[in-house]
Amino acid sequence: MTVSVGLSVFGDARYRAAARPLFDDGRVDAIEWTVDSWLSGDGPPGEAAAWLAAYGANNALIAHGVHYPLLAAAPDFLRGEWLGKLSEDVKRHRYQGISVHFGFATGWELAEGAPLPVPRCAESTALGRDALVALHAVAGCDVGIENLALSFSAGEAASQGAFIDDLLSPLDGYLLLDLHNLYCQSVNFGIDMTDLAKTYPLQRVREMHVSGGSWSGSNGARIRRDTHDDRVPNAVFAALPALRALCPRLEFVMLEQLPEALETDAQVQGFRADYQRLREVVHGG
């Protein structure tokens, strides 16, 4: 299968300025749009809207949702609100699929947050399956789940793939394999990256994310974090060819970087260099 290399785009002016030459040179095969950017604005600005229209018409636009409460037990109204906004979004854009994050971020007194791991049990499995069915009903396209960068233990890291497979099975959904998230789990728990990847349902992978991150200290230990604010590690690039060979349904490989990390000329040049390197790794030159 032909694999498209592209960008996870943002409407932010810094991002558009950094990515524009890549579009102008015809080096962007496909794009991913973070649908719940509606939380921070009214929608994509003109240039990004034009990208979405053009790539959508060419079957080269895929969607991603950061804040959908897939495995949050309590705040069902948040799921309804999110799906209500998505129902308007999908009238304007033609997506090849939509993926959301594994985990939960909301509950107690919090209505927004970062995704955290969830213990696998009958209730969490039923919750996640129902939430995917609801997502599919509104999106009208294939639905997927992205693997999480954080686990509370090595055992949880090694079993997340089976949990995700269990959630995806009823709808034959797809896995968005985030290679940097996999790298985080690999280095944080001392598990070989390819061995860890093999615990995921790789036959379900339609999309990969490639990004950078950062290190943080905690109790004297270095922890790899999924912050999308730095260059892609060499280890991620190095792992990509072998992982691609294990994913027969792979269609899209997307570079992710936050606009906040595109402030300086060095950051912009690094972003473009990473993208070119990604194209060379996937397309062979």
Partner 1 sequence: MADSGFALFQSRLLELLWEEDDPAAIKAALLADDDFAAFHDYVRGMEPRMIAVAGALVRKWGRAR
Residue ranges in contact with partner 1 by CB under 8 A: 72-74, 104-105, 107-114, 116-119, 121-124, 126-127, 150-153, 155-156, 188, 216, 218-219, 221, 223, 225
Nearer to partner 1, 44 or 128 (CB): 128
The CB-of-221 to partner 1 minimum distance in angstroms stands at: 5
Shortest distance, position 213 Cβ to partner 1, whole Å: 12
226, 184 contact by CB (below 8 A): yes
CB-based contacts of 206, cutoff 8 Å, min separation 6? 97, 142, 144, 174, 175, 176, 249, 250, 251, 252
Closer to partner 1 by CB, 96 or 188: give it.
Answer: 188
* Between 49 and 116, CB nearer to partner 1: 116
Q: What are phi and psi of 227, to 5 degrees?
A: -105, -10
Longest dimension (CA), the chain: 51
- What is the distance between the alpha carbons of residues 225 and 50, in angstroms, rounded to a whole number? 33
**How far is residue 34 CA from its own chain's centroid?**
9
CA distances from 34 to 140, 166, 227, 258 (A): 17, 25, 16, 12
Strand partners, 125: none
Q: CA–CA separation, 205 vs 277, rounded Å?
A: 22
Looking at the Cβ atoms of 55 and 104, the one nearer to partner 1 is: 104
Residue 112 vs 280, nearer CB to partner 1: 112
Q: Name the 3-class secondary structure at 263.
A: coil
The CB-of-105 to partner 1 minimum distance in angstroms stands at: 7
- What minimum distance in Å lies between the beta carbon of 188 and partner 1? 7
**129 or 279: CB nearest partner 1:** 129
Backbone conformation region of residue 75, classed left if phi is above 0, alpha if psi is from -120 to 50, else beta: beta
Which among 150, 156, 198 has a CA at the least distance from the CA of 175? 198
- We find the least distance from the C-beta atom of residue 218 to partner 1, in angstroms, to be 4
- Cβ proximity to partner 1: between 116 and 235 the closer is 116
Shortest distance, position 170 Cβ to partner 1, whole Å: 16
Shortest spacing between CB 16 and partner 1, in angstroms = 24
